[in-house]
Amino acid sequence: MSRIVLAPMEGLADDVLRAVLTAAGGYDWCVTEFVRVTTTLLPHSCFTRLSPELKTGSRTASGTPVRIQLLGSDPARMAANAAHLALLDPFGIDLNFGCPTPLVNRNRGGAALLDEPELLQRIAGAVRAAVPPAIPVTAKMRLGIEDTGRALDCALALEAGGVQELVVHARTKADGYRPLVRWEWIARIGEVVRLPLIANGEVWTVADYHRIRAATGCDDVMLGRGAVADPLLARRIRAGGDPDPSAADWDEIRAMIGIFWSRVQAKVTPTQSPGRLKQWLGMMQRNYPQAERLFREIREARRAEEVSAGLARLGIRCERDAAIATT
């Protein structure tokens, strides 16, 4: 059975959006935004703040498991923090070797480590040894920093370090998020490693999903921005029916927006919340003209109550929380 995973997306797919997207169905698990491990032992509150799902069996309200992602470069500190996190019984611990952000990379984290496969192996090995065997340790990597020269070495190093599954985002750090994507490199990695690979990068539609599987030979696929731009994408893939977003889908998405909006307001300040909804609507415009209409309605809104008024004008009610678990 092929698996579909919701990607970690810092500043975008927080617990609120994870809850809404996984409630729509189709995901086997999701991954949190990264937690940065530096010099200290992070308190449990740091993990539960990022992943409140840890308090509910490491699952979203609809029951989708959640893995927690760690980012760092020091094997011993990563291991100590992973062991501390393991006490909260996460569904899995994922290691980030893909983040291209300059601030993170300057501190030797994320994709900046991709020219040091031996370090990748030490980090993976130290974390694996520190965490009870029942908790999967997985990793997510890009193909390299400037080029793909060490992509195979990195994947082999992570396998040797003991990671159980590997997500490959088919770009180098230098590629950033340019549309060019190197799916063929996932296939090449698949020829040299034995561990399960999960293909990731530029899957926006059902057709892309089939293309990435054919190009990479992977059964399993991770969806990132495409999952946000079309909240029903995973379910649409599973259903095997109409492959394109439709006007009928929008009715369901309106309800999702209402739930999202009430949850976001409960979480962030009234001046921060409008940006969160605009961010999501901005991405949905790719698939839904109705999202564009809604975006225009609230574009000038700076405060939560102005957004609520705009949504009400277009007939969107803010659902209360109970609705989300049963959707």
Ligand X SMILES: Cc1cc2nc3c(=O)[nH]c(=O)nc-3n(C[C@H](O)[C@H](O)[C@H](O)COP(=O)(O)O)c2cc1C
Active site residues: 99
Among residue numbers 196 through 215, which ones bind ligand X (CB under 6 A)? 200-203
Inter-residue contact 221 to 2 (CB < 8 Å): yes
Range in contact with ligand X (rule: CB under 6 A) among 123-131, 195-203, 266-274, 298-306? 195-203
Decide if residue 11 touches ligand X (CB under 6 A). Answer: yes
In angstroms, the CA 147 to CA 156 distance is 17
Angle between helical axes of 273-284 and 304-313 (0-180°, round to 10): 40
Residue 29 or 310: the one with the smaller Cβ distance to ligand X is 29
Range in contact with ligand X (rule: CB under 6 A) among 4-12, 59-67, 210-218, 313-321? 4-12
Site string for ligand X, 265-284 (x = CB under 6 A): --------------------
Decide if residue 7 touches ligand X (CB under 6 A). Answer: yes
Residue 296 contacts by C-beta under 8 Å, 6 or more apart in sequence? none
Write the CA distances from 177 to 36, 180, 188, 229, 269, integer angstroms: 22, 8, 21, 15, 30
- Closest-CB residue for ligand X? 224
Which position among 3, 12, 162, 211 is part of the footprint of ligand X (CB under 6 A)? Answer: 12
- Rounded to a whole number of angstroms, the minimum distance from the CB of residue 57 to ligand X is 22
In angstroms, the CA 55 to CA 226 distance is 28
Range in contact with ligand X (rule: CB under 6 A) among 36-44, 209-217, 223-231, 306-314? 223-231
Range in contact with ligand X (rule: CB under 6 A) among 95-103, 187-195, 256-264, 275-283? 95-103
In angstroms, the CA 28 to CA 222 distance is 10
Residue 123 or 316: the one with the smaller Cβ distance to ligand X is 123
Which position among 26, 224, 258, 274 is part of the footprint of ligand X (CB under 6 A)? Answer: 224
- Rounded to a whole number of angstroms, the minimum distance from the CB of residue 189 to ligand X is 15
Of 36, 24, 2, 76, residue with least CA distance to 255: 24
In angstroms, the CA 279 to CA 284 distance is 9
Phi and psi at 308, nearest 5°, equal -60, -40
Of 224, 221, 205, residue with least CA distance to 213: 221
- Rounded to a whole number of angstroms, the minimum distance from the CB of residue 91 to ligand X is 16
Burial degree of 322 (CB within 10 A; 0-12, 13-18, 19+): exposed
Among residue numbers 63 through 92, which ones bind ligand X (CB under 6 A)? 69
Decide if residue 225 touches ligand X (CB under 6 A). Answer: yes
Which position among 4, 5, 6, 9 is part of the footprint of ligand X (CB under 6 A)? Answer: 9
Decide if residue 230 touches ligand X (CB under 6 A). Answer: no
Residue 199 or 291: the one with the smaller Cβ distance to ligand X is 199
DSSP string, 95-129: EEE----HHHHHTT-GGGGTT-HHHHHHHHHHHHH
Q: Please give the residue ranges that form the binding site for ligand X (CB under 6 A).
A: 7-12, 33-34, 69, 96, 98-99, 140, 169, 200-203, 223-226
